[in-house]
Amino acid sequence: MNGRWLLFPLLVFLGGCCYGPSSPTIKIAYEAGFSANDVVMSQYFYGWLILLVLVGAGFLKGSLHRPVSCAPWTVKRVLRLFATGAAIALVSVCYCFSLQSVPASVSVILLFQFTWIGVIIQALAERRMPSRRTIAAVVILIAGTVLAAGLVGSSVLLTAEGVTFGMLSALFYALYMFLLGHTEPEMHPLTRSFVIMSCSLALLLCILSPAYIVSGTAFSGIWVYGTILGLFGCALPMFLFSIGTPRISTGAATILSSSELPASIICAVIILSEAVSWVQWVGIALIFFGIAYPYLGTGEMSGRTSVVSEK
């Protein structure tokens, strides 16, 4: 069997897994006394620095010297790149605002609504109903997310503000996956990641505070956490997504990237020695099953319409 059909979905799956160390690192950074704004800014600033170094090394070696596109640069192309960077930046902003109003377990569940939102975006873009397998996978993923987040059996207080920002974070993440799969796919993945990250950082400096750079906070003790977050929370997943998402459907990309939640829980167990109940482990198993379900018994994952068109 030709294993090439597995490559691009696997890269997107691994991109989601890369987010795993981020949550434990953020918790450690908070315990060290850093604010949410400093943590978010550090994640994108050091992610941008890492990509800058890699792009610079690529140009020196000549591996990035090929033309990024035969078409001329237009305002529309620039706006698409900026919109892609803005989308992922707004995910972090909205998620942080949501955490201020509702418990973390609820914010996680709200964020992970991007799975079905991504399927809807693809259905609207392609004017084609999602397959029964895709719909079933989304239902399994939502059920697994509720269990894995530890929400079952607990009483929570919801606020309109927290729910709104949580759902906005899901919408922006789904839009990010869609735009990443359709924006400048012919550009070198490393160059495209750097350009998009630059747009994200520029927007965050405007929304949060440029004082992060001016005051020298970026080069204080937070650099340790920023480097880890920048690598695993920005540079690596964006690079892997840049390779994989243009070659699979948006619905498949959002489903595969939901590997982020089980990866985060597993990393929390390993790094922070957090206790995980058997219900949460069942949820993790359901998420992995939901990710694999659309492809069980099929031999095609790499086509952009493979998940949507399958009946």
**pLDDT band, very low/low/confident/very high, at 298 (cuts 50, 70, 90):** low
Average pLDDT over residues 81-109: 88
Please report the pLDDT score of residue 73 as a whole number: 74
Q: Over 50: is that where the pLDDT of 158 sits?
A: yes
Please report the pLDDT score of residue 23 as a whole number: 85
| Nearest-angstrom CA–CA distance, 234 and 45 | 9
Domain range holding 136?
4-309
Please report the pLDDT score of residue 227 as a whole number: 94
Please report the pLDDT score of residue 66 as a whole number: 52
**pLDDT band, very low/low/confident/very high, at 11 (cuts 50, 70, 90):** very high
Please report the pLDDT score of residue 81 as a whole number: 93
Residues belonging to the chain:
311
Percent of the chain with pLDDT over 90: 46
Residue-wise pLDDT tens digits, 41-58: 999 999 999 999 999 887
**pLDDT band, very low/low/confident/very high, at 299 (cuts 50, 70, 90):** very low
Please report the pLDDT score of residue 272 as a whole number: 84
Q: Over 50: is that where the pLDDT of 188 sits?
A: yes
Tokens encoding 179: 């735009």
- Which carries the bigger pLDDT value, residue 298 or residue 256? 256
Reduced 3-state DSSP string for the chain: CCCHHHHHHHHHHHHHHHCCCHHHHHHHHHHCCCCHHHHHHHHHHHHHHHHHHHHHHHHHHCCCCCCCCCCCCCHHHHHHHHHHHHHHHHHHHHHHHHHCCCCHHHHHHHHCCHHHHHHHHHHHHHCCCCCHHHHHHHHHHHHHHHHHCCCCCCCCCCCHHHHHHHHHHHHHHHHHHHHHHHCCCCCCHHHHHHHHHHHHHHHHHHHCCCHHHHCCHHHCCCHHHHHHHHHHHHHHHHHHHHHHHHHCCHHHHHHHHHHHHHHHHHHHHHHHCCCCCHHHHHHHHHHHHHHHHHHCCCCCCCCCCHHHHCC
Please report the pLDDT score of residue 121 as a whole number: 94
Please report the pLDDT score of residue 213 as a whole number: 72
Q: Over 60: is that where the pLDDT of 311 sits?
A: no
Domain count, the chain: 1
- In sequence order, what are the residues at sequence separation of 6 or more whose Cβ sits closer than 8 angstroms to the Cβ of residue 292? none
- Which carries the bigger pLDDT value, residue 156 or residue 281? 281
Considering the entire predicted model, what is its pTM? 0.86
- Other CB atoms within a 10 A radius of the CB of residue 294 amount to 29
Please report the pLDDT score of residue 104 as a whole number: 76
Average pLDDT over residues 152-169: 82
How many CA atoms lie within 13 Å of 135's alpha carbon, on the beta-carbon side?
Answer: 8
Neighbour-count burial of 153, counting CB atoms closer than 10 A to its CB (0-12 exposed, 13-18 middle, 19+ buried): exposed
Average pLDDT over residues 155-182: 89
CA distances from 275 to 77, 262, 266, 272, 280 (A): 47, 14, 10, 9, 10
Please report the pLDDT score of residue 210 as a whole number: 72
**pLDDT band, very low/low/confident/very high, at 242 (cuts 50, 70, 90):** very high
Please report the pLDDT score of residue 4 as a whole number: 56
Strand (E) positions, the chain?
none
> φ, ψ for residue 98 (rounded to 5)?
-65, -40
| Nearest-angstrom CA–CA distance, 188 and 243 | 9
Please report the pLDDT score of residue 5 as a whole number: 67
